[in-house]
A and B are shown apart, each in its own frame.
Chain A
């Protein structure tokens, strides 16, 4: 196979695998959410279908497939059907550009008498130099799917839910965008890979205490306020409790997806949980060192694995990449668990409180964070 054909094949395969990975993780997340909620509320949760209720998701999928498919009486067909598809797009596109593991280098090797390589392989569908700008741009498309769903179903619950949801999403996008500015100033780059490169340096001092921990130079130590603001606005972006005003059951039935059922509903779920995954993955990449293991550099992981498992350089590189995937997903799942945890901890806001919090509290604090970071970098000298 020629070099170009090989590149195109491998990139297409990577894109498909990462997209399907995201779609496949959604049922797992739903299971975590339901079992986690049950755990917090001292009840059992789904436990009938399969061990620990794990195959409940399959049963749910079959049920979704059997649901009748119809357009509401005044529904506007094209918009109504396009909305769930539109809900899938932002999460899928944003998740594809986040590095899931360390890039690996495969040395030239012989196979069936042919010489292959050398290859460099990155664990992200595509590597944008402007990483975060692309992700923010793509994920702001999410507001369209809300508005289309609300308008297309011609129902006043849907319409009110969509208006609330989109107004809330765009309001918190300001705080979200501004809270990341501080981190970008510290890293000096938009590129996720370079951000993780920065965080893989040893941590030399924290709160005046001198130390040296390899691969621990995480963003959280430079941007504690930024991380807090970012995570809080992610909750509002994904319309999760305590910011789930659009679906406040008592007032609006189910918000913008009142008229949706069956597979269309499932697609909204994939979009919502995908958005949560993107939010958590960005949190990990920006503030918690991505796929890095605290105390161990990537090269150290590689050499340890090679000695323990008696592997050559190439297989060890692949095993390292897999191990770092696991680390990345452990971190991401921790933050996804925080989403569930917060859901049953904080009560819902009132709508005016929500908007006040976004515009009058989080936005000024994010601005203050930018100014503080700039002042700190100038006078403390971080260059």
Chain B
């Protein structure tokens, strides 16, 4: 084989993937930034350059603050539960008991089911005369407007995300739990530690990096929440469930307000970039080592 040809072989293998990434990631990435610096309001086909003006408008709009607050609230609901509950489930599954694979399959099932169907199933349970309000009535509580009351709506949406995420993070924890040396448990047992104390002193410290990883990835996916909101509330009632991706969607594809959509996209990019950088610097630096 001649050397001229050989020199180009690596690039030929990479070219198809590189071309796709270039067209569908890098160009749109820079274009998002470019769009955010342009004003489309006078003529959508002939935007004018406005510098940082769009950001000024965005960051002084009350609606966008509400959106940021909602996104943060959603994250606060979802991330702690998804970091702790799947770990508890994983610890139970990791005990030497029969039927573990069946439990795993059943608990993982919601992960593979379309979020649209899951959201519809919850919407049905959240109905005014639905099954959840029946349970409330058993405790002599008034029926809640799960998706219609501004106080509850974000919590109700978060519950759907939590439901769909438990199996996913459980699998990550299960993989981490296999790495905890058995001798440590035996040592703790001879020290007279009970079940709970054993996990607090051995399991938790040992899998701390995985817990941190789950906090980061569940935060990133919480920031990207969309389908649950689209299917159940459309951002309502009174914008109480409008999060940043829903806001971008609404601006871009319903109001054709490309400037605000792009500026909000850049805000989302920056926030996710910060989380990703924390992740790569502290938790996954070994993973992606060259």
* A and B bind: no
